């Protein structure tokens, strides 16, 4: 039920993001979703791509520090209050969200939100029990 995401350490200096995009593009890797978290000195770029392992080795060879993390892709009704309902479910179950970001494509009529939880298994259980749809990695990479 989990989705593989790659995280890349990036110094705050010009050209580093461009370099990541260039390296991936050259290998024919398609970026499906991305989010950038930054501080004054450095940032962490989080990506979901269509070929996770190839992206990881390619970036490592390019001299980047890369790690693979597991996140959860959740279908969220694309209407007012849609996200709120899901966060309420998580809050009641005391599952913490480390961070989240939106996926570019829609799934049917729904939006897709990528979540990083401190306890992904608990989150999946709680959400599934509440009738929320979780997207499989394989489906997401191809969307």
By CB under 8 A, name the binding residues for another protein: 5, 7, 9-11, 16, 37, 39, 41-42, 44, 46, 63-67, 69, 98-99, 116
Report in angstroms how near the CB of residue 45 gets to another protein at its nearest.
10
Nearer CB in complex with another protein: 73/132: 73
Nearer CB in complex with another protein: 9/106: 9
- Sorted by sequence, the CB contacts under 8 Å of residue 133 that are 6+ apart come out as 74, 75, 110
The structure tokens listed for 26 are 């050259």
Task: Write a three-state SS string for the chain.
Answer: CCEEEEEEEEECCCCHHHHHHHHHHHCCCCEEEEEEEECCCEEEEEEEECCHHHHHHHHHHCCCCEEEEEEEEEEEECCCCHHHHHHHHHHHCCCCEEEEEECCCCECCEEEEEEEECCHHHHHHHHHHCCCCEECHHHHHHC
Report in angstroms how near the CB of residue 130 gets to another protein at its nearest.
26
Nearer CB in complex with another protein: 98/121: 98
Report in angstroms how near the CB of residue 60 gets to another protein at its nearest.
8
Nearer CB in complex with another protein: 32/116: 116
Report in angstroms how near the CB of residue 88 gets to another protein at its nearest.
24
Report in angstroms how near the CB of residue 120 gets to another protein at its nearest.
13
Nearer CB in complex with another protein: 10/74: 10
């Amino acid at each position: 039920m989990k989705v593989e995401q790659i995280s890349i350490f990036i110094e705050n200096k010009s050209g580093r993001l461009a370099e990541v995009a260039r390296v991936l593009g050259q290998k024919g890797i398609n970026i499906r979703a991305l989010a950038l978290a930054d501080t004054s000195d450095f940032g962490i770029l989080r990506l979901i791509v269509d070929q996770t392992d190839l992206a990881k080795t390619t970036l490592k060879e390019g001299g980047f520090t890369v790690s693979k993390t597991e996140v959860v892709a959740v279908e969220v009704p694309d209407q007012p209050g849609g996200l709120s309902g899901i966060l309420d479910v998580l809050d009641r179950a005391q599952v913490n969200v480390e961070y989240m970001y939106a996926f570019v494509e829609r799934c049917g009529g729904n939006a897709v939100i990528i979540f990083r939880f401190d306890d992904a298994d608990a989150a999946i259980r709680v959400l599934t029990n509440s009738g929320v749809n979780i997207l499989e990695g394989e489906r997401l990479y191809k969307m």
